[in-house]
Structure 1
């Protein structure tokens, strides 16, 4: 079997498995997996910028929240229906990521990290400042009647699961296509040796700008979907915590691998979930496990699989 056929079989098999799990999982894990797929879509967006382009952002919560509030405020205050509200969230994420890219890409390395963190914090404080509309830390609930898409109730667990699966499938396919496209290969080359790519005549700034907009737009789409499917938008999703989460998910799963974001999100979600059932000091258990993974699987779970077994894994 060729490498291309193996890649299609592996990623297609994962989507088929997720489809089948909808019919056999108990309610608790069914809801968890829907949430994991949406968060994994967010991690896919982050992976495009960090894993494939090599830009370490600490401000992706800004894009996630832009999508969530672009969608949520459109429904709450403008009376938009689901489809235009989702579009508003996606556009908000694209605009915010483009604006930030124009500023942040003037810097590099640690300075880039600091600039993205600063703007993310500014976004968080903006959400709190305009609490009259955003409800600040308290957030606001999106009612069941407001979550109807073409007659489909997205608050229903089955419909929510399939919507999350469709979102994750789309993000996975986009990521897989991108990494095999010449543009994606150029991003990887920039990550590995930026000066050599510049000497070959490529416009580094333009490639990074597009990568950041694509990354931010995918992250915003995930944020809008999260708010819509789970019926809540709050300032906590704009905090630093939600900038650190995708970094952890991608590092655990394997930066620069297509499946890494999903594996890392799944692992981290259930690590915390199971640890919290054992002790109130569950973050201590999670921390020890994360340290061990960092020591013995530095490339992440999917990264180690690629290094040791599946060399063809994208």
Structure 2
């Protein structure tokens, strides 16, 4: 079997498995997996900037929340489909504007600038609480959660919509990795001065990576608000900038499947440990330390290094 066929079989097999689980999972895990697929799409967007381009951003909650609020605030006025597109646009445009400023810095300075703007976004949401409802957030009416005649508040429709989003993001990431654009991002990650010497416009490429990452993050935020019927300021907090970093590190930075595996692992680690002890974050922290020590490349990164070297 060729490398291309193996890649398609692996990723297509995951999508088929997720579709099959729709019919057999009990309600609790069915709802959890729908949430995981949306959050994994967010992590996949983050992976474009961090895993493939080598930029450590702590501001992605800004794009996730931009998509969430653009969708949630506009859906009563412009309809569900257009509101979803507004969420994607809000994330992408926000990433471009931030990138134009932040990409003039490097390393720790880039991290601090992205964190600063994300916090400014969070405080802005709190300041305009008359519209955003601040920390309390707001519920999206069931009538506004209809798309193409489907009621997305229904568990079955919600799961399939989450799977559709995840499949689109997974396919886009697979295409990107194999396209010249993705190869050039990897070249920047490995050695930016050499990439610039070879004639690549590294600033333009990094800005394009930020735009793609922000658009996917905005789409995930808009989908989260639509599928689960809620938008709140907590999704713009520092926590939601750090979580995608942890998910990508756990699953394997620079791998297409890593964000999904990391999100799945972290979600259920916290879910299961919280049923045992109130100090569930301690258990999560220990697991993170052990993975960092024994699998520093993440779960899928370790699989690629030791078993499947063709893994994208």
- Per the normalisation by structure 2, the TM-score is 0.99
Structure-1 separation of matches of 2:92 and 2:56: 19
Q: Distance in 2 between matches of 1:21 and 1:298?
A: 30
Q: What is residue 134 of structure 1 aligned with on the other side?
A: 132
Q: Distance in 1 between matches of 2:14 and 2:304?
A: 17
2:254 is aligned, of 233, 253, 256, to 256
Work out the CA distance in 2 between the residues paired with 1:283 and 1:178.
35
Distance (Å, rounded) in 2 between the aligned partners of 1:269 and 1:97: 26
Please name the residue that 1:172 is paired with: 170
Alignment correspondent of 1:187: 185
Counterpart residue number, 1:36: 36
Offset at 1:75?
Answer: 2.2
Counterpart residue number, 1:90? 88
Q: Which residue of 1 aligns with 2:47?
A: 47
Structure 2 residue 151 is the aligned partner of structure 1 residue 153? yes
Superposition map of 1:290-301 within 5 A: 290-301=288-299
Cα distance in 2 for residues equivalent to 1:218 and 1:54:
18
- Structure 1 residue 93: Cα displacement: 1.0
Looking at structure 1, the residues matched to 204 and 118 of structure 2 have their Cα atoms a distance apart, in angstroms, of 22
Output the aligned Cα RMSD. 0.6
5+ residue gaps, structure 2, are none
- 1:119-143 C-alpha deviation (Å, 9 max, x unpaired): 0000000000000000000000001
Counterpart Cα distance in 2 of 1:51 and 1:85: 29
Residues in 1 aligned to 2:87 and 2:2: alpha-carbon distance in whole angstroms: 40
Structure 2 partner of 1:12: 12
Distance in 2, Cα, partners of 1:210 & 1:75: 28
Match of 2:281 among 280, 283, 303: 283
- Where does 1:100-111 land on structure 2 (aligned, <5 Å)? 100-111=98-109
Q: Are 2:68 and 1:68 aligned?
A: yes
How far did 1:92 drift? Answer: 1.0
Partner of 1:3: 3
- The CA distance in 1 between the partners of 2:110 and 2:281, in whole Å, is 29
TM-score normalised to structure 1 length = 0.99
What is the deviation of 1:256? 0.1
Q: Deviations over 1:194-225 (max 9, x none)?
A: 11111101100000000000000000000000
Q: Secondary structure at the match of 1:13?
A: helix
Report the alpha carbon displacement of residue 80 of structure 1 after superposing the two structures with TM.
2.3
- Using the TM superposition, give the Cα deviation of residue 144 of structure 1 relative to its aligned residue in structure 2, in angstroms: 1.0
* Distance in 1 separating the partners of 2:11 and 2:63: 26
Q: What's the offset of the Cα at 1:46?
A: 0.1
Paired residues in the alignment total 312
Deviation at 1:253, TM superposition (A): 0.0
| Per-residue deviation, 1:62 | 0.1
